[in-house]
Amino acid sequence: MQDQRKLTVCVPIEEAEAIRTWLLESKILDIDRKIKKFIENGKKYLLLPVTKTVAGYTCIEDGAPELYISQRSLKEHLSNEITAEELAKVPSSWQVIGSVIIVTIPEELDHRAVIIGKKLLQMHPRCNCVVRDKGIHGTLRLPSREIIAGHDTETIHIENGCYFKLDVTKVMFSKGNLAEKKLMSTSARGEVVVDMFAGIGYFSIPIAVHSAPKKVISIEINPVSFSYLLENIHLNNVDGLVEPLLGDCAHVTPEGIADRVIMGYVGTTHHYIRNAIKALKPEGGILHYHETTPEKLLFERPVDRILEVALQLEKKIEIVGTRRIKKYAPGVWHVVVDAKIT
């Protein structure tokens, strides 16, 4: 029987950061033990400490586990710098995208933003910049962010063995749906995929890298995001697999060619269901439809929306999967519906 206090997941070093993030979000990573590195047959691996076995990964025991010395929290770093009242409002979480830290700071701490940024850089010595997040706005999902410490908001983030170059003040990057991106990255072998709302390649790049598709057509309307999509296609050596299209999905989505269509945007996604279904081959295919849905309408509303358009197009629909991705707002979920259209 394996000792859970010594259990680790063995992963190639180039995939380690994405898997570590997923394990952390899934509350499986043992944060009290150190991550270790080893080399076998010239290849580098990391041993990620976990609290239980993880299906699909090689789990082995660490014969000599090492514990971390307890690290100081952000509040502890700031305890001698700000008042107790202010300390209670200090954020307890933030995102690390490549070498950039993204943090949300309440307005009451406007005058403390710089010191918070400096302390975060001390806590993350591999990072060189901290930006304050003020939300995402408009149909192009543009972030409102400002530098509060350090420099250089352009970075390369590694996730699921893929490289994503971006400027965090110009385009968004969500780490919250890693499991969905990993699922899509293994689902399209030999297929033609249309990725509507492709962004910088969140779904397109992993599919091209891991799934051996026939082709991925990536559509993006935001010129800045599209420019990074082009760079990321080249950065991941998938130039021959990914065909980028700049434009509005309502006007440039091709028809009758796809085995699979991904609608990975939330907000007004339902306005484009007709374009998505028409993109599938005449004999049909799979639609992955994302939506933000009130909890009381889960999964009724997204299914009804797909069904309504399918009936208008005289298509048959079979729901083959539904998933909750994350809580989007109080009482609202980001969900995915997988539908087979024929």
Q: What is the DSSP letter of 275?
A: H
Residues 13 and 121 in one domain: no
Give a yes or no: residue 307 inside a domain. Answer: yes
Give a yes or no: residue 1 inside a domain. Answer: no
119, 136, 152: which is the final residue of a domain?
152
Residues 97 and 25 in one domain: no
34, 61, 88: which is the final residue of a domain?
61
- Rounded Cα distance between 315 and 298, Å, is 23
33, 61, 89: which is the final residue of a domain?
61
Residues 208 and 308 in one domain: yes
Number of structural domains found in the chain: 3
Torsions phi, psi for 142 (to 5 deg): -85, 130
Cβ atoms of residues 133 and 104 within 8 Å: yes
CATH code of 142's domain:
3.30.300.110
**Residue 262, Ramachandran bin (φ over 0: left; ψ between -120 and 50: alpha; else beta):** beta
pLDDT reported for residue 217: 98
CATH code of 302's domain:
3.40.50.150
Give a yes or no: residue 121 inside a domain. Answer: yes
Residues 80 and 217 in one domain: no
As beta bridge partners, residue 291 has: 335
Give a yes or no: residue 268 inside a domain. Answer: yes
Start-to-end CA span in the chain (Å) = 48
Residues 121 and 223 in one domain: no
**DSSP secondary structure of 47-79:** EEEBSS--TTSEEEE-SS--BPPPPPPHHHHHT
Nearest to 288 by CA among 304, 302, 309, 271: 302
Give a yes or no: residue 41 inside a domain. Answer: yes
Give a yes or no: residue 25 inside a domain. Answer: yes
Q: Compute CA distances 137 → 145, 171, 187, 308, whole Å.
A: 11, 11, 31, 29
Residues 269 and 210 in one domain: yes
Q: Compute CA distances 150 → 80, 82, 329, 336, whole Å.
A: 22, 21, 31, 38
Nearest to 245 by CA among 263, 224, 270, 220: 220
CATH code of 12's domain:
3.30.70
Nearest to 238 by CA among 305, 162, 312: 162
pTM of the model: 0.77
Residues 37 and 128 in one domain: no
Give a yes or no: residue 106 inside a domain. Answer: yes
**Residue 171, Ramachandran bin (φ over 0: left; ψ between -120 and 50: alpha; else beta):** beta
Query: For 242-282, what is each residue's pLDDT tens digit?
Result: 999 999 999 999 999 999 999 998 889 999 999 999 999 99
Give a yes or no: residue 167 inside a domain. Answer: no
Residues 252 and 290 in one domain: yes
pLDDT reported for residue 204: 97
Residue 141 CB: number of other CB atoms within 10 A? 17
Residues 186 and 306 in one domain: yes
Residues 333 and 185 in one domain: yes
Q: What is the DSSP letter of 267?
A: S
Residues 215 and 313 in one domain: yes
DSSP E strands, the chain: 7-12, 36-40, 43-49, 58-61, 95-97, 100-103, 129-137, 142-150, 154-159, 162-167, 192-196, 215-220, 242-246, 260-263, 285-294, 317-329, 332-341
What tens-digit pLDDT sequence spans the chain (342 residues)? 555 668 899 988 888 888 888 888 888 888 778 888 888 888 888 899 998 888 888 888 887 777 765 567 899 999 989 999 999 999 999 999 999 999 999 999 999 999 999 999 988 888 999 999 998 877 677 889 999 999 999 999 999 999 999 999 999 887 767 888 988 999 999 999 999 999 999 999 999 999 999 999 999 999 999 999 999 999 999 999 999 999 999 999 999 999 999 999 888 999 999 999 999 999 999 999 999 999 999 999 999 999 999 999 999 999 999 999 888 888 999 999 999 999
Residues 181 and 147 in one domain: no
Q: Residue 102 sits in which domain range?
A: 74-152
pLDDT reported for residue 71: 65
